[in-house]
Chain A
Amino acid sequence: GENVEQHPSTLSVQEGDSAVIKCTYSDSASNYFPWYKQELGKGPQLIIDIRSNVGEKKDQRIAVTLNKTAKHFSLHITETQPEDSAVYFCAAVEGSGGYQKVTFGTGTKLQVIP
């Protein structure tokens, strides 16, 4: 089955700096890669996603890159703000139209220091 590794497990940055979180996956059948932000006491919230036919996607201060050959993908947050502090999860999804199996990474706790 799919295995998703996520690094680092914790990350502290100064407000205004950039943060980068990296994930690797093992199954080449995975073709969709969402990223979730989870705040304390809440469920994961989708922040950005990328499909396997795209190498990069950007949404304001958030960008995601995908390297299918190397089987890794990364989340980049620029100009970090205190409200970006949360746990971030990457995920790899495999499925051709029916059930879509989602495998999550172990999470990165991001702390943005004002």
Chain B
Amino acid sequence: GQQVMQIPQYQHVQEGEDFTTYCNSSTTLSNIQWYKQRPGGHPVFLIQLVKSGEVKKQKRLTFQFGEAKKNSSLHITATQTTDVGTYFCAVRYFGNEKLTFGTGTRLTIIP
């Protein structure tokens, strides 16, 4: 079946360091969304990418969609304690409009 690989599974960084999580698919994607889940909370939508090579920014967060629409990344510059949580990518394949979630990357910040 179609698989969504998200790496790394865990990331521990010092406050102020950068963080990146990657989402990879073996199949070309229709679009991709990113969600953040705080500890004990529920997933919250961050952004959606649709176009090949698309780059979007939200303050310290930068989202990229690969040229082949098979991979995506989320980069956080100068992490803060408020960035703690698990970041999920959620993908849609052509002809299958349901979201398939990646396994997530759990980010912890060392103050």
A, B assembled together: no
The interface of chain A, by Cβ under 8 A from chain B, is none
Q: Report B's interface with A, CB cutoff 8 A.
A: none
